[in-house]
Amino acid sequence: MELLGNLGLGLGVALSLTNLFYCFLGALLGTLVGVIPGVGVLAAISMLFPLTYNLEPTTALIMLAGIWYGTTYGGSTASILLNIPGTPANAVTCLDGYPMARSGRGGVALFMTTVASFFGATFGIILLTLFTPIIAEYALRFGSAEYFALMLMGLVAASTISEGSAIKGLAMMTLGVIIGLVGLDSQTATARFTGGSLGLMEGVSLIALAMGVFGVAEIVMSVRRVKASDIDPESVKLKAIKPTSDDVRRSWFPMLRGSSMGSFFGTLPGTGPSIAAFLSYAIEKRLSKTPERFGKGAIEGIMAPEAANNAADQTAFIPTLSLGVPGSATMALMLGALMIHGIAPGPTLISDEPELFWGLIMSFWVGNVILLVLNIPLIGVWVRMLTIPYHLLYPSVLLFICIGAYSASFSPLNVWMVFAFGALGYAMRIFKFPGAPLLLGFVLGPLMEEHFRRAMLLGRGDFMTFFDRPLSAAIMSLTGMILLWSIWSSEGAKKRRTERANSM
Amino acid sequence: MKKFIAAALTALGLAMPAHAADFPTGPVTIVVPYSPSGNTDVFTRYLAPYLEAKWGQPVVVDNKPGGGSMIGTAHVAQAEPDGHTLLMTSSAFVTAPSIQPDLPFDSRTDLTPIINVGHVSFVLITNADSPYETLEQFIEASKASPKFAATAGLGTTTHFAMEKFIADSGANVDVVHFKGGGPAVVSILSNETDIYGSSISSAGKNLEAGKVRALAVLGNERIDVLPDVPAAAELGYTDLEIKQWLGVFAPGGTDMAIVEQVNADIKEALENQTFIDTVTPLEWTLNGNTTAEFKTQIDTELTKWQGIADAAGIKK
């Protein structure tokens, strides 16, 4: 019954008038920041960080956290309506969300992703409430070998993420890995592909890549091709958000699987929402009996990743609060907000600061309910965005992309990179090269390399280190099974196709 | 309004050349070569209002991150040496040049050291379940079977700390780089590595909770927050003083009168009790030395770290 007492304590803190206000403010700002392409959560939180100096630490954290998970809620909006990811974690939502919007189901897509977000977040919060100390201990068992095995599994599982030619998909994945290599090598400090530029030493920013390849390319492609009048006026009415019973039926399991994947990756420092979203999309496509629907507006393709990234948003607090280890730059900011007030998160945080810990967790519930209430009526507003003439909409989106790219690291170089990647993305569209594997290779490649090199160092150069450690061995064998299964199933699919052709 | 006019005059290039007597004549920009919210940024943003009040001019904190702090540093090295562009940076100033070739500036001449404002101490930590109760036991054990040391990244102060420790103690230890202090502490918690020279702030809660054990403070004296942990000097390592410090610089060739004035004005802020109370929770120990002392410190450290980098074969 101690848990109930703690929840009560937390709820009391979360529902105080001040905290409620800042929670609302955070969620609202987060939604806005998420909807505006390019302005990422890190930039938003950095800008608002000084505000928190004068707040109580719990209140400060409640507001910052609201921005953090609010962004992921809002981020799917631009992905679905404009094919421009609001945040990197929503990039994969473009793949099926945008086709849905094009076929007049934008309202449904927005409504369903809001539901998926709420579902995923709730799932994450339940884990956070019940198992924080246990999960934190468990996450410690993941060393470099395990991370590498996990990334490898992700890459194998995701190798079918794109439509069309497998060779083109593979080529894009490789290009992504190569772009990810730019910068200082982590173990020897050798500069790679920097061309002597100090700015490139930090590597290419994910925001610049995602904005360029998806956003700028989309805008360039649309010039003189689409008109606002292409959109069916009926599809932007509020009643058009009602999903069909088929949509609902198809959504349950993807949401559940997405939430589990997201919760898992959220707890591992260094992975987080983007990877969770990508991989859960890949898993859905692999499990689907009709994978050919993906990329053309399959509801599963938006439900799983949106549940996953929101679940990961919540569980990312587990390592941050209980180990004092931020999983990402944004989480490091949240730690900073606490440190300023003299609170150092760590194993004793829950017992030392029960009001802060439980108050924060309960504020997540409150914040997610606020987001749900806030987002559903807003869908009508967002969808109407599609009716804005493109000659007004797109220049302003470009402007926001520039601001976002700049503010990601306060570097004009990023803006140039957005345009370079925009050109690349445009060329890719013309020659029908898929964008998703490029992004996946970029995200996973450098992480794989980092963990592989470290695991080899720690294993003193012995490859068996990946199979000697039980957890890593288990993940490796699972990867092997996925690989075998995918070969088998693609052979089976081939056979079925020939049979069908023969019987005709 | 006064501020506005001064700002406008400066903007139009009408301001008179600066003399110490009338410094500053316009807004002062403090460049922080890190992203907003990092340790350096937060410290600078706390300090800025004190200087603003003292100088009667806006003090702007400008983040120019990248290149392991070298981008912002290069920016200030090339700025007008009139005291209106200053740099607040960390000890990366002395460590980064020894692993980054071809920097577009000379660390010794293109920047004028003004003042060392504070530092964070480092402690050597191991997992609390490890058998090593003292540093001596750890060094002995490493000779029997080689151990791993974590760092917060290649070329960071923690990396140099570990290399210096290995060189001075003769321990048989290989360094493994992690991305940041957090993952390095986790590698100690998860027994992936055996020893890490952590800043007090990263180790803090885990020390308190008894998850990690501190073997020595990397310095010549014990520190207040860990009174029972011996200083490296007590254990016979008299040259193992390694700190992450923060310091202010002006572009090379800045009028020494201005440099001295900035030094004095910052020192005044460092002695302000309200300021001390705000930054103490961040684990900073405030310093505030003279310009000459800081200059000597920089020159010594640049030589020292380059020597360690060469001896340890860290790639240049």
pLDDT tens digits for range A106-159: 888 989 999 999 999 999 999 888 888 787 777 778 888 888 888 888 777 776
With an 8 Å Cβ cutoff, are A411 and B65 in contact?
Answer: yes
- How many residues are present in chain A? 504
Average pLDDT, integer, range A339-357: 77
Q: What is the dihedral of CA B300, B302, B306, B308, to 10 degrees?
A: 50
Dist. CA B255–CA B258, nearest whole Å: 5
pLDDT over 70 (residue B268): yes
Distance, CA of B218 to CA of B233 (rounded, Å): 8
- Closest-CA residue in chain A for B194? A458
Which tokens go with B195?
């020893």
Tell me which residue of A303, A395, A310, A319 sits closest to A122, measured CA to CA.
A310
The strand pairing partners of B121, in sequence order, are B243
Instruction: Give residue A302's pLDDT.
Output: 92
- Which among A48, A454, A462 is the top mutation candidate for probing chain B, defined by the most B β-carbons within 10 Å of its own β-carbon? A454
Average pLDDT over every residue of A235-260: 82
pLDDT computed for residue A482 by the predictor: 78
Beta-carbon count within 10 A of A229 CB: 9
In this predicted structure, what is the pLDDT of residue A440? 79
The strand pairing partners of B198, in sequence order, are B123
Query: Which pLDDT score is estimated for A154?
Result: 78
Amino acid at A16: S
b/e per residue B265-282 (b: at least 16 CB within 10 A): bbbebbeeeebeebbeeb
Retrieve residue A389's tokens: 């003439």
Tell if the CB–CB gap between A186 and B177 is shorter than 8 Å. yes
Half-sphere exposure of A503 (CA within 13 A, CB side): 6
The amino acid at A38: G
Q: What is the mean pLDDT of residues B181-186?
A: 82
Written as six digits, the tokens of A229 are 């009048």
Higher pLDDT, B137 or A389: B137
Average pLDDT over residues A262-281: 84
Which is higher by pLDDT, A206 or A109?
A109
> Does the beta-carbon distance from A329 to B35 stay under 8 Å?
yes
Q: Is A489 an interface residue toward B (CB < 8 Å)?
A: no
Q: A375: which 2 tokens?
A: 């987002």
pLDDT in tens, B297-309: 999 999 988 888 8
Q: Choose from B29, B31, B37, B194 for mutation: most chain A CBs within 10 A.
A: B37
Indicate whether this complex's ipTM tops 0.85.
no
Angle at alpha carbon of residue A440, lines to A438 and A444, rounded to 5°: 125
Q: What is the distance in angstroms between the Cα of A447 and the nearest Cα belonging to chain B?
A: 11
What amino acid is encoded at B61 in this protein?
A: V
Is A229 an interface residue toward B (CB < 8 Å)? no
Across the interface, which of A190, A329, A458 has its CB nearest the CB of B192? A458
- The token pair at B267 is 């020192």
| Residue B33 in tokens | 């070569």
Cβ separation of B201 and A143 shorter than 8 Å? no
Q: Which residues of chain B does A340 touch, with a Cβ-Cβ cutoff of 8 Å? A: 42, 281-282
Q: What distance in Å separates the CA atoms of residue A235 and residue A150, rounded to the nearest whole number?
A: 41
Q: Which of A318, A294, A290 is nearest to A124 (CA)?
A: A318
Determine, for residues B190 and A142 on separate chains, whether the beta-carbon distance falls below 8 Å: yes
Nearest of A332, A270, A260, A257 to residue A142 by alpha carbon: A270
Q: Which residue of chain A is at minimal alpha-carbon distance from B65?
A: A409
The mean of the pLDDT values for chain A is 82
Measured between CA atoms, the residue of chain A closest to residue B193 is A458
Neighbours of A473 (CB within 10 A): 16
Read off the pLDDT of each residue in A462-488 and give the average, rounded to a whole number.
85
pTM above 0.90, yes or no: no
Q: CA–CA separation, A25 vs A63, rounded Å?
A: 7
pLDDT reported for residue A446: 83
Residue whose tokens read 């924080």: A132
Q: Give the pairing type, strands B173-177 and B59-63.
A: unpaired
Q: Choose the mutation target among B35, B69, B76, B102 for the interface with A, i.e. most A CBs under 10 Å.
A: B35
Three-state secondary structure call for residue B114: strand
Contact B28, B58 (CB under 8 A): yes
Residue of chain B whose Cα is closest to the Cα of A43: B36
Q: pLDDT tens, B209-253? A: 888 999 999 988 898 888 899 999 999 998 888 888 999 999 999
pLDDT tens digits, B103-112? 888 999 999 9
- Residues of A whose CB is below 8 A from B182: 269, 324-326, 332
Report the DSSP beta bridge partners of residue B249. Answer: B87, B113
Touching check for A269 and chain B: CB below 8 Å? yes
Query: Chain B: nearest CA to A362, how far in angstroms?
Result: 24
Residue to test with chain B: of A325, A330, A352, A449, most B Cβ within 10 A: A325
Confidence of residue A161 (pLDDT cuts 50, 70, 90): low
The DSSP symbol for A291 reads G
> Would you say residue A382 has pLDDT above 60?
yes
Q: Is the dihedral of CA A291, A295, A300, A304 positive or negative?
A: positive
- Give per-residue pLDDT as tens, B20-68: 557 889 899 999 988 766 778 878 888 998 999 999 988 988 888 777 7
Taking the C-alpha atoms of residue B272 and residue A317, their distance in angstroms, rounded to an integer, is 36
The dihedral sign for the CA sequence A237, A241, A245, A247:
positive
Whether A325 and B185 lie within 8 Å, measured CB to CB: yes
Q: Do A189 and B186 touch (CB under 8 A)?
A: no
Contact A348 B314 (CB under 8 A): no
Confidence of residue A239 (pLDDT cuts 50, 70, 90): low
* Of A447, A89, A122, A146, nearest in space to A272 by CA: A89
The pLDDT assigned to A38 comes to 63
A·B CB contacts under 8 A: 128
Q: Rounded to whole angstroms, how far apart are CA atoms A32 and A43?
A: 13
Amino acid at the residue A404: G
Which of B182, B187, B209 is facing A326, going by the closest CB pair?
B182
The dihedral of CA A44, A48, A53, A59: what is its sign? negative
For residues B144-157, one letter each, b for 16 or more C-beta atoms within 10 angstroms of the residue's C-beta and e for the rest, the string is eeebbbbbbbbbbb
CB contact set of B226 (below 8 Å; sequence gap of 6+): B123, B200, B207, B214, B217
How close is the nearest chain B Cα to the Cα of A201, in Å?
5
Count of CA atoms in the C-beta half-sphere (13 A) of A323: 31
Judged against a pLDDT cut of 50, whether residue B284 lies above it is answered with yes
Residue B11 has pLDDT above 80, yes or no: no
Residues of B in contact with A411 (CB under 8 A): 64-66, 71
pLDDT in tens, A74-99: 888 888 888 877 777 888 888 899 88
Q: Strand B59-63 relative to strand B85-90: parallel, antiparallel, unpaired?
A: unpaired
What pLDDT is recorded for position A490?
Answer: 63
* Option in A323, A340, A345 nearest B42 (CB): A340
The mean pLDDT value for A278-283 works out to 86
Query: What is the spatial distance between Cα B111 and Cα B222, in angstroms, rounded to a whole number?
Result: 32
119-148 in chain A: CB under 8 A from chain B: 140-144
Tens digits of residue pLDDT in A12-41: 888 888 899 999 999 988 888 888 776 667
Check: CB of residue B269 under 8 Å from CB of residue B114: no
Single out the residue of A334, A327, A370, A349 nearest to residue A133, CA to CA: A349
Residue of B66, B182, B315 with shortest CB distance to A188: B315
Structural tokens at position B84 = 């209106």
Q: Which of A50, A325, A329 is nearest residue B186 as measured by Cβ atoms?
A: A325
What's the confidence (pLDDT) of residue A156? 77
Asked if residue A473 has pLDDT above 50, the reply is: yes
Of A339, A349, A457, the CB nearest to B281: A339
Interface test with B, best of A323, A356, A452, A456 (most B CBs within 10 A): A323
Residues of A in contact with B74 (CB under 8 A): 198
